[in-house]
């Protein structure tokens, strides 16, 4: 079967992001930035979150493009500072630019990233937006849960409690 007959399983924007990295001449810098973690979810890198979009050289500067999880994300300045610090430590001058379009989506997170969320105690986003079905406790796996608050430890998460094991947990809201 030719690749033109395959049905994509990820959004076009996420496919383009992965292709930019795969075809980049800056592979070493991409790899270096894999160590930069999301300050609100340190189990995941900015790449794994889908925030790190592109790298380009502009003269002797690395230009890093990032997309926030939502336009008011308070962690964006910390992310930019962490990227600049990682690049400076490796001897690069840099600039970080934010791009709002296309808007970030939880569908840009890989299955591996969602599993890392789960193992760090955060229920990953579920496909059926607006529904609690599909959300399960990341501690015991039970789907006997209740929402305690629309907002959890950050605005992009909701706070739940598992009825089965009693543990409170964040659920990363699907966007």
Judge if 12 and 93 occupy the same domain: yes
Residue 175, number of CB atoms within 10 A of its CB: 14
Q: Could you read off the pLDDT of 19-43 as tens digits, one per residue? A: 999 999 999 999 999 999 999 999 9
Same domain, yes or no: 23 and 86:
yes
Cis peptide leading into residue 9 (ω within 30°)? no
Is residue 127 a part of any domain in this protein? yes
Domain closes at, from 107, 130, 160 = 107
pTM of the model: 0.86
Q: How many domains does the chain have?
A: 2
Q: What pLDDT, in 10s, does the model give residues 117-171?
A: 999 999 999 865 444 568 999 999 999 999 999 998 888 899 999 999 999 999 9
**Interior CA angle at 104 toward 99 and 106, to 5°?**
160
Residues 99 and 139 in one domain: no
**Closest alpha carbon to 14 in 38, 44, 50:** 50
């Amino acid at each position: 079967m030719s690749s033109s007959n395959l049905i994509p399983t990820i959004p076009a924007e996420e496919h383009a992001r992965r292709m930019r990295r795969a075809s980049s001449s800056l592979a070493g810098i991409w790899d270096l930035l894999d160590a930069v973690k999301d300050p609100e979810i340190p189990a995941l890198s900015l790449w794994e979150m889908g925030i790190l979009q592109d790298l380009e050289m502009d003269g002797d500067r690395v230009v890093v493009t990032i997309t926030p999880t939502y336009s008011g994300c308070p962690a964006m300045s910390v992310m930019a500072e962490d990227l600049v610090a990682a690049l400076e430590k490796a001897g690069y001058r840099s600039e970080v630019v934010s791009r709002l379009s296309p808007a970030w989506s939880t569908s840009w997170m890989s299955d591996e990233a969602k599993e890392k969320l789960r193992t760090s105690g955060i229920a990953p986003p579920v496909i059926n937006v607006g529904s609690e079905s599909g959300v399960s406790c990341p501690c015991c796996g039970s789907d006997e849960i209740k929402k305690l608050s629309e907002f959890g430890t950050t605005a992009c998460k909701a706070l739940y409690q598992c009825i089965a094991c009693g543990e409170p947990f964040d659920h990363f809201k699907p966007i």
